[in-house]
Amino acid sequence: MSKVLYLIVCGAAPAAYANRFVSLARDDDWDVWVITTPAARDFTDLTALEKASGHPVRDSYKRPGENDLGMPRADAVVVAPASMNTIGKWANGICDTLATGILGESLGFGVPLVALPFVSDAQAKNAAYVRNARFLQDGGVVFPVGIKRPSRVRDFPWKAALDALL
């Protein structure tokens, strides 16, 4: 049976191409479930993501009357693109969205965690961002291309996140 991978998508430009990661991961036999942050909704093509993953894309916690999220437990979690905002929330235990709630529960539980940040040069120099990213690295989160902005949008290294799970 396929292992379950959560892709958490934040509000930054590469989010528009997140379906590329879903396709790559499915080629590697991952069952991919996409969770966006609320901000990422404006950056993503939800129809393309649902088509690529074969699952609904969630961005919020249970609604009244729902018993569960209908998502299997994750064997691995990838955050890509990871925004400065979500990295900051994750490192500081803030769980105000489904995405940060999942991340908050996953740290330290042995589930492989991978982050591909997409931050501006100015954000990458912000001491709080650097501290937060380093805190996550110390906690076991793998940043396969480092904590700075890795590339231009179209060359965003989706595959590096997948390779980090091998």
Q: Which of 94, 154, 89, 143 is nearest to 116 (CA)?
A: 143
Positions touching ligand FMN (CB under 6 A) are: 10-13, 37, 39-40, 83-86, 118-120, 123
Whose Cβ is closer to ligand FMN: residue 37's or residue 132's? 37
Q: First CA to last CA across the chain, in angstroms?
A: 17
Minimum Å gap between C-beta 49 and ligand FMN is: 15
Whose Cβ is closer to ligand FMN: residue 29's or residue 42's? 42
- For residue 33 the two structure tokens come to 């479930």
Residues 6+ apart with CB under 8 A from 5: 25, 30, 31, 32, 33, 74, 75, 76, 77, 78, 165
| C-alpha Rg value of the chain to the nearest Å | 15
Whose Cβ is closer to ligand FMN: residue 54's or residue 93's? 93
Where are the extended beta strands (E) located within the chain? 3-9, 30-36, 76-82, 113-117
Question: Which helix (H) or strand (E) is 122 found in, with range?
Answer: helix 121-125
Whose Cβ is closer to ligand FMN: residue 12's or residue 162's? 12
Whose Cβ is closer to ligand FMN: residue 2's or residue 120's? 120
